[in-house]
Amino acid sequence: DVKVTQSSRYLVKRTGEKVFLECVQDMDHENMFWYRQDPGLGLRLIYFSYDVKMKEKGDIPEGYSVSREKKERFSLILESASTNQTSMYLCASSDNRGGLPQGTYEQYFGPGTRLTVT
């Protein structure tokens, strides 16, 4: 059973603080993702990583950075938190082995971190 865990369920930070959101998966997945989920906007991809130390910008990378030093861990960093970054943050992972075409694999999601920036 795939497990994707996120370090916090709820987080409250002040404007200007540096914020770290941690995500760990235990299934040796190659790909990891960070999304934010907002009502009416759905899920929007912030960054993804397809290998250790590799990262790609998603659709809304501004104000965020990521780090993937180990295969199982993918961190999202808000360098200077702002109120418009108040949101639910979802981490996900997916495999890319198993004989299926790339792009067809299921994503496994963590429970989410609800971040409030005041």
Partner 1 sequence: AQRVTQPEKLLSVFKGAPVELKCNYSYSGSPELFWYVQYSRQRLQLLLRHISRESIKGFTADLNKGETSFHLKKPFAQEEDSAMYYCALSARGGYQKVTFGTGTKLQVIP
Note the residues at the interface with partner 1 (CB under 8 A).
31, 33, 35, 40-45, 48, 50, 56, 58-59, 90, 92, 94, 96, 100-112
C-beta of 81 vs 115, nearer to partner 1: 115
C-beta of 58 vs 63, nearer to partner 1: 58
Within 10 Å of residue 8's Cβ, how many Cβ atoms?
Answer: 16
- If phi > 0 it is left, if psi is from -120 to 50 it is alpha, else beta; for residue 89 that is beta
**Which residue matches tokens 């497990």?**
3
C-beta of 6 vs 85, nearer to partner 1: 6
- 58: which 2 tokens? 């998603």
